[in-house]
Amino acid sequence: MKKLPALILCAALSLSVLCACGAEPEASTAAPESVPPLPELSAAGALFRAVDCARRGEGHYTRSEAVNIFYSALIAGDKGKEYPLRFTDIDDSGVANAAAYLDHYGLLDFIEGEKLLPARELRRVEAERLLQSLMPGVRLSAEGDPDAPITGSELAAAWQEIYDELMDGATPAPLPTPGPAAESAPEPLPEGFCFPETDFEPQSCWVAEPFGDGGQALLLMGGDTPDSPLELWYSSWVETDLEVYMERDLACLSLAAEKGSELCVRGDPSFPIALAMDGDTLTLEPPEDWPFCPLPERFERVTREEALLAWAEMPFCGEVSLPVGACEDREALLAIPGAGISGMGSYYTTYIAPGCSFSYASRALEVFTATEPYTGLSIRGLDVGCTLDDILASFPNALGPGELGVLYGSEEYNSARGALYEGEEGLFVYLLIPGSVHVFFYLDSSDTVESITVSYFL
């Protein structure tokens, strides 16, 4: 996708731009002397928002909804960081994180003081200020009242304008083709490369035959019978109908069962999956009304070494090992050796422990960051101190030497992906499963990982 070369928010723009809808925005707190440049905006992201806002029609948006829309439009490596929050009236942790991020870049300068007023309807004059911060020159119709609430249709038209500008003169990139670009010997696996952590010791390994659209799957079992525990990780390209646009996305999922014979989706017996084994062949049969991503149906037994090589060619499926749980109370977290509280907000508590920090909203984990190795964080054996080459050898990689961009998947809004980008502080590798988890590997000048952030707020 073509990207706008310089989506830069300048302090001068925040102070001097006049709105075409008939009035200048109300006076606001002055922008910082130096406002950092905004991350680039992809055409696919703009198009998705045009489609999403069109569904709202003549309905209105609150300020909190607008904050989430504009936050999710920016894909960057610095979202895993924590930013100061000046607003004191936000209860929702996701909105609070998004507001702090946008405020860091000066997008919310038009709001004075410490009150976001999240339930207040977003006015047209405010919407135009936000839109112009992404692309100067985007204007709403001058016919409407600048103080009237913005409608979904008006926002959709503005996002469509941004999309058209981004795509002006561009040739859309071809859809990614699954599979290696050229036949070559597999790269050696990094030292310590490993399977995902399981609740059992894998006794047999199974790799799926081709399925779906470029489907790949790995299945590990704790025994050699249908009643053995198992875990399955799989991916396939799927089509997402956005009404005016058909999006092609990479879906990555996982399933587990204490007994393979009782395998079903998320423990829901209404979606049972029949498992059968015949020597070195294993089959899965979903119900006829299976509503999810295409399921691998036939597997062949492979050696551990063959399974590891296959795993390195599969996208990230959310397999993160952490020393803290997804849901923990304060007493348990403070019982971690060396742990303490480093900060508290209206919606979150941040803890520090040797080599790491982590934040919880109530009892739910939101962010974990490791700055030293051996904290207990691991993704395919990768840890702080590994190299960029180690990361690239642990996941599918469609990039050539020295290239930046998408490693696998695509930049479509709903697509899982891995990517190598350059941010304000250097290179970083970004792994994403939409609606689930972000992972950021931050690299120093020698291409060595200096920190890893796992984020569950999106």
d(CA 272, CA 262): 7
DSSP 80: G
Q: Residue 96 has which token pair?
A: 């609070």
Are β-strands 204-208 and 298-302 bridged in parallel, bridged antiparallel, or unpaired? antiparallel
Q: Are 50 and 156 in contact (CB under 8 A)?
A: yes
d(CA 22, CA 143): 8
pLDDT at position 166, please? Answer: 75
Give the number of other Cβ atoms within 10 Å of residue 58's Cβ.
9
Stretches in the chain below the pLDDT threshold 50:
1-33, 170-184
Give the model's pLDDT for residue 431. Answer: 95
The Cβ-side half-sphere exposure at 324, using a 13 Å CA radius, reads 33
pLDDT of residue 5: 30
Cα–Cα distance for residue pair 181/194, rounded to 1 Å: 25
Indicate the pTM of the whole model. Answer: 0.64
pLDDT for position 408: 94
- 84-95 burial, b at 16+ Cβ within 10 Å, e below that, comes to ebebeebeebbb
What is the structure's pLDDT at 183?
43
Joined tokens for residue 43? 């055409």
**Cα(269)–Cα(164) distance, rounded to whole angstroms?**
46
Q: What pLDDT, on the 0 to 100 scale, is given for residue 283?
A: 95
Q: Where would I find the H helices in 17-122?
A: 43-56, 63-72, 93-104
pLDDT at 175: 38
Q: How many CB atoms lie within 10 A of CB 80?
A: 21
**The pLDDT of residue 76:** 59
The domain ranges of the chain are: 11-167, 204-311, 322-369
Query: What is the number of residues in the chain?
Result: 458
- Residue 53 pLDDT: 80
- What separation, in Å, do the N-terminal and C-terminal C-alpha atoms of the chain show? 22
